[in-house]
Amino acid sequence: MELLSGADMIARFLKDEGVEYIYGYPGGAALHIYDALFRQEDVKHILVRHEQAATHMADGYARASGKPGVVLVTSGPGATNAVTGIATAYMDSIPMVVLCGQVMSSLIGEDAFQETDIVGVTRPIVKHSFSIRHPSDIPTVLKKAFYIASSGRPGPVVVDIPKDMTAPTERYEYSYPRKVRLRSYNPAGRGHTGQIRKAVDLLTSAERPVIFAGGGVITGRASEALTDLAHRLNLPVITSLMGIGAFPQNDPRSLGWPGMHGSYESNMAMHESDLVLGVGVRFDDRVTNNVSKFCPHARIIHIDVDPSSISKTVHADVPIVGAADSVLNEMLNQLGQRQPAEPVSLDDWWAKIDGWRDERRGKLYEPAAPGEPLKPQQVVEAVHRITHGDAYVVTDVGQHQMFAAQYYRFNQPNRWISSSGLGTMGYGFPAAMGIKLSYPDEHVVLFTGEGSFQMMMQELSTCKQFGIPVKIVNLNNASLGMVRQWQDLNYKSRHAHSYMESLPDFEKLIEAYGFRAITVHTPEELDAALEETFRSKDELVFLDVHVDPREHVYPMQVPQGAMCDMLLSKTERT
């Protein structure tokens, strides 16, 4: 049996757990751990320039890989700087383990230098938290943390580590725990067979059914089973913003995503449906709009691994607690060779859906004429063409996020990476870095805006140090676009503090960090600039595209309306 200090146990455990990268920023309470990481070569530490960036890097990696991202920060301000990233992961059910240095255990509660009760601070925004009480507990606690973070409904786990727990002078027996037992934590596996049978009966008898698939399909690795079910019964599929890519968007059964800025046909189909099969969704308010008017004709089947999510917002007529992949596969087994009971009605339903599609075909936006300011939509479509729809697409938050979700088409899971629940500006750049670091042979594209990018632009220094060549497409409208849109609609265009004045010269800024920037003003310049930007996967390029600041994101749901109540343009509404 090997004798190791608490700090060396952490480094060894991370290696044994298969962790390749840990993202963090050093400080006094974490220095024993940093020294242990320095003395080994298997786990690589990425030094960010702000702790929030460390959490977003870990988050981006976790979304792309399905594995927990790992963060290391020091006590006090180091830990509190990570809070926004922890909340971002919590809202979107992303697996993450955050190791926080803490003051010595004898000083806890004494208002010691850089002391913060990070367990208390983060309690509402973590799946679980631990505080190390003895160095010998470290391997078991870390194993529990990784298991809890990645099983059931995933989420962030905080591990608080007082400095004396990692002292190099104290050594204890270390062995890597192969298994973990938690009496009070038993995430659901298989769903109830009887409930699944009820769901199958409803699916095969419905006249206007839709599948509504969320992020739980992606984290639960259930995309293949979902696709099989949709093909077997010829069902329309709508994904939530988090579920984009769970079902191929080039499939004719795909209706896109619903809600605040969802597609016309997806919102209309959900409103008119008589049955909604919700899989791994939480029926967020950005989808439902006014819950009292949500899907008024539909019965709801709700599959979720988290029992607390079922009937939390929308009443489930058939609740099924279980892992998405397991439940969907059992549904497929029960279906056997069964066909819809009313195939003629289903044909009528598809005719209606196709009619909604035809209504909006060619009316989504008006491309810019030569010499006019570019429309952000056409920039996203151009990026889709040049990457053949095969990039990891990361966004910040705002109009550019919605345009990217609407106009970049995704046919695989884990390729759309965006802060959906918390809506964190500044998320995109470090998240893209975390993905590119682990997937160096793939195109990783960040769609951002000048507001979001300035929140984390210091991470250009991290990219320089570690050679992280992401592609950055800045849809520059010189304003906080989504705020400005709401001000146009609700505040008679009183643009209170939504203009981004005194913007930097992005070309000079990017060049100061040693990278290349290209500026685009007109449609004629766009294709050549994209060719140059995406010529190599090994070079960070910042593409500063000046777009029409007057452009709005449509459709847009009317607040407190039903799903079918939408603004379709500045002059049209349903």
Q: Can you say whether residue 409 is alpha, beta or left, with left for phi > 0 and alpha for psi between -120 and 50 degrees?
A: beta
Neighbours of 317 (CB within 10 A): 15
Active site residue 15: no
pLDDT of residue 342: 60
Tell me what the mean pLDDT of segment 301-311 comes to: 96
Choosing from 2, 38, 40, 113, which is the catalytic residue? 113
Choosing from 114, 334, 412, 454, which is the catalytic residue? 114
Q: What residue segments make up the domains of the chain, in order of their start? A: 2-174, 193-359, 376-553
At 247-294, the pLDDT tens digits run: 999 999 999 999 999 999 999 999 999 999 999 999 999 999 999 999
Choosing from 51, 265, 450, 459, which is the catalytic residue? 51
Residue 562: name the closest of 322, 294, 277 by CA: 294
Give the 3-state secondary structure of residue 10. Answer: helix
Q: Can you say whether residue 478 is alpha, beta or left, with left for phi > 0 and alpha for psi between -120 and 50 degrees?
A: left
The CATH class of the 2-174 domain is: alpha beta
Distance, C-alpha 224 to centroid of its chain? 20
Choosing from 425, 482, 563, 566, which is the catalytic residue? 482
Continuous segment of H or E residues that includes residue 389:
none
pLDDT higher than 90, residue 343: no
At 105-151, the pLDDT tens digits run: 999 999 999 999 999 999 999 999 999 999 999 999 999 999 999 99
Percent of the chain with pLDDT over 70: 99
Q: What values do phi and psi take at 213, rounded to 5?
A: -105, 135
Active site residue 114: yes
470, 463 contact by CB (below 8 A)? yes
pLDDT of residue 363: 78
pLDDT of residue 226: 98
pLDDT of residue 341: 59
Residue 304: name the closest of 326, 274, 275 by CA: 326
Active site residue 507: no
pLDDT higher than 80, residue 345: no
d(CA 443, CA 292): 43
Confidence tier at 340 by pLDDT (50, 70, 90): low
553, 402 contact by CB (below 8 A)? yes
In the CATH hierarchy, which fold is given to the domain comprising 193-359? Rossmann fold (3.40.50)
Choosing from 127, 163, 375, 436, which is the catalytic residue? 163
Residue 480: name the closest of 380, 396, 399, 378 by CA: 399
Model's pTM, two decimal places? 0.96
At 189-211, the pLDDT tens digits run: 899 999 999 999 999 999 999 99
Neighbours of 308 (CB within 10 A): 10
Is 1.10.150.130 the CATH number for 376-553?
no
- 2-174 and 193-359 in the same fold: yes
d(CA 315, CA 565): 21
Least reliable range by pLDDT among 195-209, 361-375, 552-566: 361-375
Active site residue 456: no
At 389-410, the pLDDT tens digits run: 999 999 999 999 999 999 999 9
Q: What are the beta bridge partners of residue 212?
A: 238, 278
Active site residue 51: yes
At 535-551, the pLDDT tens digits run: 999 999 999 999 999 99
pLDDT of residue 344: 62
pLDDT higher than 70, residue 16: yes
d(CA 556, CA 357): 16
